Amino acid sequence: MTIAQSTVRIASGEVAGTGAGTDVRVYRGIPYAAPPVGPLRWRPPQPVAPWAGVHDGSRFGFDPMQLDEPSRGSLAPGASEDCLTLNVWAPADVPAGGAPVLVWFDGGGFVAASGAKARNDGERFARLGSVLVTVNYRVGVFGFLAHPALSAESPQHASGNYGFLDAIAALQWVRDNIAAFGGDPKRVTAFGESAGGAVAALLLISPLARGRFDQVILQSAGSFRPLCPLADAETAGRVAGDDLATMRALPATELLALNAKINPAVRGLTIPRPLRPIIDGWSIDRDEVDAFRSGVFAHVPTIVGSNANEGGWFTANIPVTTTAKLRDYVAQNFGADFDEAWTHYGATSDADVVRAVGDAFGDAQFSYGARSLAREIVKRQPKTFRYLFTHAGAHTSDPPVHSDDITYVFGTGTFDARDRRVSDAMMSAWVHFAATGDPNGPGAPHWSAYDAIRDNYLTFGADFAEGTLWRAGPLGFIERFYAARAV
């Protein structure tokens, strides 16, 4: 079936996209919820009002409110609280039953994110026969501020997870509207990287997200660490003040400063963070680890993985450059377990300190979560696949750091032939998985399902070989460290 026109009708009105007469149609800046401004600041997303006329889908909507970082590569016109929009790339030729749908949640430590980044362009996914959706969700103090007064006014006695609720609302929008773009609403894959991957993982345990997606891809998800309880997050949120009317009247630019007051300058590796999804008792009703280990999560097909040097991207912002400072850093984060932690994250000279800090950060924040998610999900869903991204790229000999995989997944990097080979393999696997729940198929490398005993994974690098037991020693230590504190 060929869809030649670029104007479609959805529940809230008509949307005019670009690309009529070509093989890819693009629809930008589509509102999926009401603007969360004025009295809707710090409230769950509300239904979007139908519009008259035709929505201009040629331009991206505003990014969520965040500090201006030109390096983030967004094509949005700026940042605003009026940010609850999404973007759709769709093939002109779609099968009679519709094309599989991938819904992307961007990362940024829950204080930044954009559905309009150039590196997340969905054109190549559409050319491979999928519908690609990128979503804006509220971040920072606008998306994750918990406060006693906000909980008190809530019918659910909950606050803080507004950005997470945005993600759930966007998935419902996809279920309700994606058929108009040629997508199959019964084949929806939620995926994301870093904070976006954590969002996708938390969707698995949220009672409010049940039935709104069919499978997940978790890239470097910041997952499987203890979540902050509502009461602790409310205490941290009181830095915003005590009068809700005054807080809601403050200009958005003034509120941005609260991010730094709530988030520590140097992130604690093992301490729950209040300015991110928390246990609010409603959208997330229990700790993530408890939910997965008890089986209270959506048992859907899953891809989960991480990069070879996850922590390397963060070391420039961690002021630890000598062995003496490293000893303090390890002690602050692992306390009574210092001796064992030092066997994994110690250094014999200052020259090795940055590497050690990167290993500790990457293991605690990302690699441990990837392995733990695979180990728990596979107990109830045999279609669980783990990967390790090791490709250094054409322009460096260093192992890939956090987020380096994204341009390969979207096919948007400046690539040589080796890079394109890795990118094509990843894209093929992601598209086959979106279509069938299994990443194996033409153009994709053979990928065995995960086995917790073998601890196997597919390597995306110089070759596509299967590996086992990657960093098993330090990741086992992280697991024991958290388990001892959960007793």
Q: Does the CA dihedral 357-362-368-369 come out positive or negative?
A: positive
Tens of pLDDT along 432-452?
999 999 999 999 999 999 999
Side-chain half-sphere of 362: how many Cα atoms within 13 Å? 28
pLDDT, average across residues 2-19: 87
pLDDT at 265 over 80: no
| 0.85 surpassed by pTM | yes
Binning pLDDT at 50, 70 and 90, where does residue 263 land? confident
Domains 1-183+194-300 and 307-487 share a fold: yes
- Within 8 A by CB and 6+ apart from 481, the residues are 270, 334, 337, 341
Q: Tell me which of 402, 423, 428, 432 is the catalytic residue.
A: 402
- Reply yes or no on whether 391 is catalytic: no
Among the listed residues 310, 344, 376, 428, the single catalytic one is 310
Pairwise CA distance, residues 385 & 131, whole Å: 22
pLDDT of residue 246: 95
The arithmetic mean of pLDDT across residues 391-415, rounded, is 90
pLDDT at 76 over 90: yes
CATH classification (class only), 307-487: alpha beta
pLDDT greater than 80 at residue 485: no
pLDDT tens digit sequence for 147-173: 999 999 999 999 999 999 999 999 999
Q: What's the pLDDT at 315?
A: 92
Residue 89 tokens, joined: 């790339």
d(CA 400, CA 362): 12
* Predicted pLDDT at 68: 73
How many residues does the structure list for the chain?
A: 487
* Sign of the Cα pseudo-torsion (454, 460, 462, 463, in order): positive
How many whole angstroms separate alpha carbon 135 and alpha carbon 107? 11
CA 382 – CA 449 distance, rounded (Å) = 7
Whether 136 contacts 108, CB under 8 Å: no
- Looking at every residue in the chain, the average pLDDT score rounds to 95
Strands across the sheet containing 54-56:
7-10, 13-16, 54-56
Identity of residue 406: I
Catalytic residue among 6, 130, 151, 194: 194
Domain boundaries, the chain: 1-183+194-300, 307-487
| Confidence label for 464 from pLDDT (cuts 50, 70 and 90) | very high
Range of weakest confidence among 39-43, 180-184, 270-274, 470-474: 270-274
Q: Is 194 a catalytic residue?
A: yes
Q: Is the pLDDT of residue 369 over 70?
A: yes
pLDDT of 267 reads 75
- Range 389-412 average pLDDT: 90
pLDDT of residue 70: 52
Q: Is the pLDDT of residue 244 over 60?
A: yes
Does position 367 have pLDDT exceeding 70, yes or no? yes
Tens of pLDDT, residue by residue over 37-46, are 999 999 999 9
CATH superfamily of 1-183+194-300: Alpha/Beta hydrolase fold, catalytic domain (3.40.50.1820)
Q: Is 402 a catalytic residue?
A: yes
Per-residue pLDDT band at 67 (split at 50, 70, 90): confident
pLDDT of residue 69: 63
